[in-house]
Amino acid sequence: MVDRPYNVLFLCTGNSARSIIAEAILNKMGAGHFCAYSAGSQPKGRVNPHTIHLLDNLGYDTSGYRSKSWDEFAQAGEPEFDFVFTVCDSAAAEACPVWPGHPATAHWGIPDPADAKGTPAEIAVAFEDAYRMLNQRIAVFTALPLRSIDALSLQSKLREIGQMEGSTANATEEH
């Protein structure tokens, strides 16, 4: 496909938990091969404090994370994406911007840890579960032979990843 790191955008409505977690995981796991970004259709304006706490505890540098609109990435001069993944069902159902370069897309919906109720420990478990599910998906994604796989097989594999454990709705929207 390309001779540079692959640019990947993770989308969620609020860009405060799942998409930020996915961005962090891929930038660490795929360092040198992938450059991950995240955005939301209706960004919360701040990263969920539980997201920051989880990532800090796992050794991630969280200083550069912020909740931002996907409109930022639709501007001239922004990275051209090779892959765009929605990680929440509501973002998957929205009309996304047209991304230059026709990136491969898939829906990797998982439950929103920000919706978790209960004790602090129960909320922490929801965030840990989201991290674990995203980490599994991203590990499978980074192991794909991206430079040698044909587009149809790649699209099929990306959708299969979205159906892994913990998958939410089976969205079929293309982004």
Q: How confident is the model at residue 171 (pLDDT cuts 50, 70, 90)?
A: very low
What architecture is the 6-162 domain classified under in CATH?
3-Layer(aba) Sandwich (3.40)
Phi, psi of 104 (to 5 degrees): -70, 140
Q: Which residues are catalytic?
A: 12, 88, 96
Place of tokens 């922490």: 124
Which residues are CB-contacts of 119 (< 8 A; sequence separation ≥ 6)?
none
Phi-psi region of 58 (alpha: psi -120 to 50; beta: other; left: phi over 0): alpha
pLDDT, one tens digit per residue, over 8-20 is: 999 999 999 999 9
Q: What residues are paired with 125 via a beta bridge? A: none
pLDDT, one tens digit per residue, over 91-129 is: 555 666 667 778 999 999 999 999 999 999 999 999 999
Q: What Rg, from alpha-carbon coordinates, does the chain have?
A: 15
pLDDT, one tens digit per residue, over 83-98 is: 999 998 765 556 666 6
